[in-house]
Amino acid sequence: MAARSVAVRAAVALGVALFTVGAVEIGARLYLGDDFAAGLPVGRPEEACARHDPDLGWVNLAGARTRVVAPKFRYDVAINSRGLRDREHEVEPSGEVFRVALLGDSVAWGWGVDDGLGFADLVEEELGPDVEVINLAVPGYSTDQELWMLEREGRSYAPDLVLLCFILNDVVGNASGEGHVGGKPRYVRTPAGDWALAGRPVPPPEEGEGEPAFRERLYARSAFLQLVRPPDAERQLAESAASVLPSAAPRHTQKAFNKYRAEIARLCEQIVAPDSVTRMLLGRLNAACETMGAPLVAFSVPHHHDRYLYQPGSMRPEIPAVGAYRTVLSRSLAQAGESLGFEVFSVDQALLDEVDQGHVLHVGDGHPNELGHRVLARRVVEELLPRVEAWRRGR
> What CATH number did the domain enclosing 130 receive?
3.40.50.1110
Question: In this structure, are 245 and 97 located in the same domain?
Answer: yes
Q: Read off the pLDDT of each residue in 41-47 and give the average, rounded to a whole number.
A: 61
pTM of the model: 0.84
Question: In this structure, are 179 and 264 located in the same domain?
Answer: yes
Question: In this structure, are 18 and 138 located in the same domain?
Answer: no
pLDDT tens track for 343-383:
999 999 999 999 999 999 999 889 999 999 999 999 999 99
Q: Residue 210: pLDDT band by 50, 70, 90 thresholds?
A: very low
Domain with 21 in it:
2-33
Q: Read off the pLDDT of each residue in 251-275 and give the average, rounded to a whole number.
A: 87
What amino acid is encoded at 323 in this protein? G
Say what the pLDDT of residue 233 is.
40
Q: Residue 321: pLDDT band by 50, 70, 90 thresholds?
A: confident
Count CB-CB contacts under 10 A for residue 25: 15
Question: In this structure, are 22 and 133 located in the same domain?
Answer: no
* Gyration radius of the chain over CA positions: 24
Q: Residue 41 domain-assigned? A: no
Is residue 45 within 8 A of residue 66, CB to CB? The reply is yes
Question: In this structure, are 202 and 336 located in the same domain?
Answer: yes
Q: Residue 58 domain-assigned? A: no
Q: Residue 270 domain-assigned? A: yes
Q: Residue 173 domain-assigned? A: yes
Antiparallel, parallel or unpaired: β 178-179 and 74-78 = unpaired
Question: In this structure, are 22 and 122 located in the same domain?
Answer: no
User: What SS3 string covers 220-265?
Assistant: HHCHHHHHHCCCCHHHHHHHCHHHHCHHHCCCCCHHHHHHHHHHHH
Question: In this structure, are 127 and 204 located in the same domain?
Answer: yes
Q: Residue 39 domain-assigned? A: no
Q: What percent of the chain has pLDDT over 90?
A: 63
pLDDT tens track for 6-26:
777 777 788 888 888 888 888
Among 29-43, 306-320, 379-393, the range of highest mean pLDDT: 379-393
Say what the pLDDT of residue 8 is.
73
Question: In this structure, are 120 and 6 located in the same domain?
Answer: no
Question: In this structure, are 304 and 176 located in the same domain?
Answer: yes
Q: How far apart are CA 120 and CA 380, in angstroms?
A: 9
Q: Residue 225 domain-assigned? A: no
Looking at the 3D structure of the chain, how many domains does it have? 2
Residue 177 pLDDT > 90? no
Q: Residue 38: pLDDT band by 50, 70, 90 thresholds?
A: low
pLDDT tens track for 112-154:
999 999 999 999 999 999 999 999 999 999 999 999 999 999 9
Distances (CA, A) of 212 to 58, 70, 100: 17, 18, 36
Say what the pLDDT of residue 42 is.
56
Question: In this structure, are 125 and 26 located in the same domain?
Answer: no
Q: Residue 294 domain-assigned? A: yes
| Average model confidence (pLDDT) across the chain | 87
Q: How many CA atoms lie within 13 A of 93 on its CB side?
A: 19
Question: In this structure, are 169 and 20 located in the same domain?
Answer: no
Question: In this structure, are 169 and 315 located in the same domain?
Answer: yes
Say what the pLDDT of residue 27 is.
84
Q: Residue 129 domain-assigned? A: yes
